[in-house]
Amino acid sequence: MSLEDALYPLLKVYEAAPQVIKSLVGRVYRAIPASMRYGAEYARFQREAREVEGWDEETIRRYQVQALRESLMAAGKAPYYAERFAACGVDPAKFEALEQLADYPLLTKQDMILNRERMVNPEIDAMRRLYITTGGSSGVPVGFYLQKGVSRPKEQAYLEAQWSRRGYRVGDRVAVIRGGVTSSKAAGGISYYDATRNWLILSSYHLTLERLPEYVEALNRFRPQHLHAYPSAALMLARGLEQTGRKLGFKLTSLLCGSEKLGAETQRYLEGFFGARVFHWYGHSERVVLAAQGRESNDLQFWPTYGYVEFGEADAEGNREIIGTSFHNRVMPLVRYRTGDYAKVVNHAVVSEVVGREYEFLVSATGRRISLTAINMHDRIFDGLLAVQFFQERAGAVECRYQPGPQWQREREDAMHAGLMRKLGDDFVLEMREVKEVEKTPAGKHRWLVTRVSV
């Protein structure tokens, strides 16, 4: 197990500590060699991510067949997968070609919610399991297990490799505007310094024209080389600067924009305004597949060594669902996982854009705009729910509608309310409402937000 995994349960304690403590502890931690912080697998994945861009198709194919076989073999140890595989007449030990994967059953979010514990490989000790949850952009809360000592160093290595395409180097100063909670009060502080990574964490919940001078002051004092932000937050910052005539007193090397849709027009605007290249990528907490813009192309290219990607049938608009099978997670492999995300497909491993991840906001009584992306809760408060949806008719008042599953415990509603309020802030009134089914689009897709408030 890596030091990063061992200390992960203490992350919230660190984030809640006074700045002087965070700075002291963070600098000590950052001084520890990366091989100790991230573990032995980190160097392996660094090398893999660096070398794969030079591999030929046959080398990639051999790697993927081997990685898929290992994932299928690990999955087959779990009761849920063993039953599904037997029903389909497939045997992971006989997996020898990529084309055989089509014989395996698809996996949905609902399957994971209802069968999570039965999807765990019993041969992997519980101490090596890392439990993660996400509300996701779809609003369907999902819990799952990653593998300690593998999943986190792998993610770190691949993120660093793809960010390097826009000039990022480990240790660079980075300003972050993507969901970090700096204060639960509308008038609270907007930033703190994370010395573990040399990052300035700025609130995406307080970014208004009235408080823009505080952001400009903090950024000019820190002088980051990169801005790591939700596309919506980067856009709000740029438009605020443009409207007020304020300027940043430094030049950015890049803007690192993930977690939300980034259209070509928005990318051109951000690059023109900040005078720096934008880097966009697609990934998710389940860590099944990962795609990123190339060194020159803005198309999203799936990493062939991260996971295996397939695409569903085209819908009425020609978009196809992203389906992935995870590599390197023997605790709980996800096999042919339907992500619920749709893309415009260029070829078998490249998409021009991921569609449907629009900018959706809740509006507070004081006019703050809270991105739904930032509301995603990476803890257990949504465990046992089949779906979550936010409904807003007037600024400052929000209704959280939730659809319980068979494992839901009603006494946890108070904890869910408290967790959401920590992110929304004290200029919101939040009501909880249990429903039999959340509202869907005419096409039957889940709606994360239903709003009557103009943004």
Q: Which CATH number goes with the domain that contains 397?
A: 3.30.300.30
Q: According to the model, what pLDDT value does residue 387 have?
A: 81
What is the per-residue pLDDT across 412-427, written as a single tens digit (0 to 9) for each?
899 889 989 988 999 9
Parent domain of 411: 363-451
DSSP string, 40-86: THHHHHHHHHHHGGG--HHHHHHHHHHHHHHHHHHHTTSHHHHHHHH
Residue 170 falls inside a structural domain = no
What would you report as the CA-atom Rg of the chain, rounded to the nearest whole angstrom? Answer: 22
Q: According to the model, what pLDDT value does residue 317 have?
A: 86
Q: Do the beta carbons of residue 147 and residue 170 sit within 8 Å?
A: no
Residue 397 falls inside a structural domain = yes
Sign of CA dihedral 217, 218, 219, 224: positive
Q: What's the burial of 316, exposed, middle or buried (CB within 10 Å: 0-12/13-18/19+)?
A: exposed
Pairing of the two strands 300-302 and 291-293: antiparallel
Start-to-end CA span in the chain (Å):
45
Q: According to the model, what pLDDT value does residue 49 have?
A: 97
CB atoms within 10 A of CB 188: 14
Residue 52 falls inside a structural domain = no
User: Strands of 350-355's sheet, edge to edge?
Assistant: 191-194, 199-202, 174-177, 226-229, 254-257, 277-282, 291-293, 300-302, 350-355, 337-347, 320-326, 307-314
Q: What's the burial of 29, exposed, middle or buried (CB within 10 Å: 0-12/13-18/19+)?
A: middle
Q: Residue holding tokens 């909670």? A: 181
Residue 396 falls inside a structural domain = yes
Low-confidence residues in the chain, pLDDT < 70: 135-139, 356-358, 376-379, 441-445, 455
Q: Which two structure tokens, joined as six digits, stand for 193?
A: 């310094």
Q: Residue holding tokens 């020898």? A: 96
Residue 416 falls inside a structural domain = yes
Residue 424 falls inside a structural domain = yes
CA distances from 211 to 49, 94, 181, 206, 217 (A): 40, 61, 16, 7, 10
Those residues whose C-beta lies under 8 Å from the C-beta of residue 221, and which sit 6 or more positions away, are none
Domain count, the chain: 1
Pairing of the two strands 142-147 and 129-134: antiparallel
CB atoms within 10 A of CB 44: 15
CA distances from 238 to 215, 231, 249 (A): 12, 11, 14
Q: According to the model, what pLDDT value does residue 445 have?
A: 64
Q: Can you say whether residue 435 is alpha, beta or left, with left for phi > 0 and alpha for psi between -120 and 50 degrees? A: beta
Q: Residue holding tokens 């739904």? A: 372
Residue 219 falls inside a structural domain = no
Residue 151 falls inside a structural domain = no
Q: Do the beta carbons of residue 308 and residue 101 sit within 8 Å?
A: yes
Helix (H) or strand (E) holding 415: helix 413-424
